[in-house]
Amino acid sequence: MTINIDELRNYLTIDRGSLDNELVHQAALFYKVGEACVDANDKRDSLKEALALLEAETENDLRETAEKHKEKITNDEVKSRVKTDHSRKKAYASYAQAKRDADKLTALKESFAQRASMLKHLCELYVSQYYETKSIKGTDRTDTATYI
């Protein structure tokens, strides 16, 4: 599933005048971000495993090649050659990008959890009439017309 992080980030802004709509959509948005976060973490973990496997295979190949050519090679040399291997560099770049994406989605998920809390507080303010525009409120006694 492809997800546009910037598009979802725009949903973090709460429209105070439309709290009912914001509340209705919060759960679906949070689920969408959570699902994307799970997918991104899965991709990151898969690429990390693939990187480890590639490093192990490359290390094995280097040791076999050195043994064939009766070349003495130290563990540090093997590790250095593995790190500078073109395939490993490419695999690491993919893993690093997947890690960044997963971290961004995790932060976005946390922001949506914070958004849920803010919606709750805004609703409490609305119920307590914090956003009421009148500075003086009438009562039953002052609101009735009196004819003399």
Single-letter amino acid code for the residue at 144: T
Query: What's the CA gap between 118 and 88, in Å, rounded?
Result: 45
- Per-residue pLDDT at 127: 87
| 71-84 b/e (C-beta count within 10 Å ≥ 16 → b) | eeeeeeebeebbee
pTM score of the predicted model: 0.76
Q: What are phi and psi of 132, to 5 degrees?
A: -60, 135
Are the C-beta atoms of 37 and 8 separated by less than 8 Å? no
Residue 126 has pLDDT above 70, yes or no: yes
Are the C-beta atoms of 19 and 125 separated by less than 8 Å? no
- Per-residue pLDDT at 24: 93
Q: What share of the chain has pLDDT > 70, as a percent? A: 86
Query: What's the CA gap between 108 and 106, in Å, rounded?
Result: 5
Query: What's the CA gap between 128 and 115, in Å, rounded?
Result: 20
Across 128-136, average pLDDT: 69
